[in-house]
Amino acid sequence: MKKVIYTMALFLAASAAQAQAPIKHTQDEFVDVTMLGDDLFLYTKKETQGQYLYREAKGSEPVRDTQLNAGTINAVVGNNPATGELYVYQQSGRRDKRIAVYKYEGGGFTKTEELEVPRFRNNSENLGMYLSGDRSQLIISGELSKSEGYDDLYLSQRQDGKWSKPVKMGGSVNSRQAEFAPFMASDSLFFSRKEGNAAYVYAVPVKDGQPAGEPTRLEGAVNQQDAFNAYYKKIGERELWVSSRAGDYFAYLSEPAPAVVEAPVVEEEETPAAPMAQTLYFGFNEVYMGTDAEQQLKAFLEAQQPGTTVAVKGFSDAKGPVKGREKVSRQRAAFVAWYIQDKFSEKNFTVETASQVLDTVSEQGRRVELQVK
């Protein structure tokens, strides 16, 4: 069975699951995506020489971040939104382990200090951690001692400047299956549990660092059936998670729909004719819209009459493998069609989709064209 390297928590995330949209899609295995602000992503990839953190801004190519990758194994394990700190686990050897504290300022990361890691022996090939915002609790996923079967969750607490010996968390959390990817929010513990080749996200209330009930599998879009759903984050009413199936890896963001404000009654004025066409441009291999493209699409749709038929055609240029180009062109059209039907359902648009792969390489070829019929 293929091994997946388990990394841990980050910040961001969201509500109960209203408006869900993929913010990243690739066939390269990645885990534990997070988001800084509205347009900067961090995620982890396992490579031949180790495990490394990548950063990716909307519309830009992914870059391995040299500031964060000070070890051969690197993973974000927590943050403190109040102080703007980011916690990164870094390991360069069996005894060379640390949690580095970074601040994100001026478009870059600056290390401010390092924390030691509690001593433990892990008998699993996988290792994950989550450090609480106040740095007082460290949840570890692995096989440290007397596991229930595979990877379990353990808790170490910091007192008088030292970490306690990691202790296995309550039996309601750990099972004969593998538990991994812990994350704490609002006195609840979120984690993933393997079930065959799939994995699902669970939540359980926590008191004094221990589970205070039975874990419940999250409902809604977070847990796709027969998929590997993991690395869930929740802050306020936003949610972020990774879901993979059949070689496709998606990072999803869910947040509540914006409040509808009733417009004041004004005298009718003659309105200009609605535009008949709109073109949206995408970055290489991107299937989700950037902020500018989304604003252009919203303005175009708001100008159309209810019941309008909109033809949506996705394009890909000639860069990359043939199957990948065909898939991206289809997914661009499908994503825009989903957006129209989800965000403008009250207008009852009829949406028709098509796709095409171009035989030239150009940024203008990575687009979606909308035409009113």
Using one digit for the tens of pLDDT, what is the confidence trace for 314-337?
Answer: 999 999 888 888 999 999 999 999
Q: Which domains does the chain have, with CATH numbers?
A: 19-255 (2.115.10), 277-372 (3.30.1330.60)
Euclidean distance between CA atoms 227 and 245, whole angstroms: 5
Give the model's confidence band at 264: pLDDT under 50 very low, under 70 low, under 90 confident, else very high: low
User: At 42, is the pLDDT very low, low, confident or very high (cuts 50, 70, 90)?
Assistant: confident
Beta strand pairing call for 309-316 and 350-357: parallel
Sign of CA dihedral 177, 183, 187, 188: negative
Using 50, 70 and 90 to split pLDDT, how confident is the model at 40?
A: confident
Q: How confident is the model at residue 237 (pLDDT cuts 50, 70, 90)?
A: confident
| C-alpha triplet 323, 48, 127: angle, nearest 5° | 105
Look-up of token digits 């929010």 = 185
Q: Quick one: pLDDT band at residue 270, thresholds 50, 70, 90?
A: low
Mean pLDDT on 268-281: 78
Handedness of CA 337, 339, 341, 346 (dihedral sign): negative
What pLDDT score does 266 carry? 53
Taking 60 as the threshold, does the pLDDT of residue 99 lie above it? yes
Cα–Cα distance, 35 to 170 (Å, whole number): 31
Instruction: Give 31's pLDDT tier (boundaries 50, 70, 90).
Output: confident
Which of 81-90, 140-149, 197-206, 209-218 is predicted most confidently?
A: 197-206
Please tell me the chain's helix, strand, coil percentages from 3-state DSSP, rounded to the nearest 5. Answer: 10, 45, 45
Given a cut of 80, is residue 36 above it in pLDDT?
no
Q: Is the pLDDT of residue 12 over 50?
A: no
pLDDT greater at residue 271 or residue 96: 96
The pLDDT of 256-285, averaged and rounded, is 71
- Compare 88 and 238 and report the one with higher pLDDT: 88
- Number of other CB atoms surrounding residue 1 within 10 Å: 6
What pTM value is reported for the model? 0.65
What's the pLDDT score for residue 219? 85
The percent of residues above 90 in pLDDT, for the chain, comes to: 49
pLDDT category of residue 347 using cuts at 50, 70 and 90: very high
Q: Which of 160-164, 245-249, 268-272 has the highest mean pLDDT?
A: 160-164
Q: How much is the pLDDT for 156?
A: 95
What integer pLDDT is reported at residue 2 of this predicted model? 33
Q: Is it the case that residue 92 has pLDDT exceeding 50?
A: yes
- At 245-262, the pLDDT tens digits run 888 898 888 776 555 555
CA–CA dist 200, 215 (Å, integer): 11
pLDDT band at 183 (very low <50, low <70, confident <90, very high): very high
The predicted-structure confidence for 356-369, as pLDDT tens digits, reads as follows: 999 988 889 999 99
Task: Please classify residue 46 by burial: count the beta carbons closer than 10 Å to its beta carbon, then call 0-12 exposed, 13-18 middle and 19+ buried.
Answer: middle
What contacts 352, CB < 8 A, 6 or more positions away?
309, 310, 311, 312, 373
- Between strands 85-91 and 162-163, the pairing is unpaired
pLDDT of 289 over the 70 cut: yes
Q: Taking 60 as the threshold, does the pLDDT of residue 235 lie above it?
A: yes
* 14 has pLDDT over 50: no
**DSSP symbol at 165:** P
> What average pLDDT is seen over the chain?
85
CA distance 335 to 330: 9
Dihedral sign, Cα of residue 221, residue 204, residue 213, residue 165: positive
| pLDDT band (50, 70, 90) for residue 107 | confident
208: helix, strand or coil: coil
| Percentage above 70 pLDDT, the chain | 88
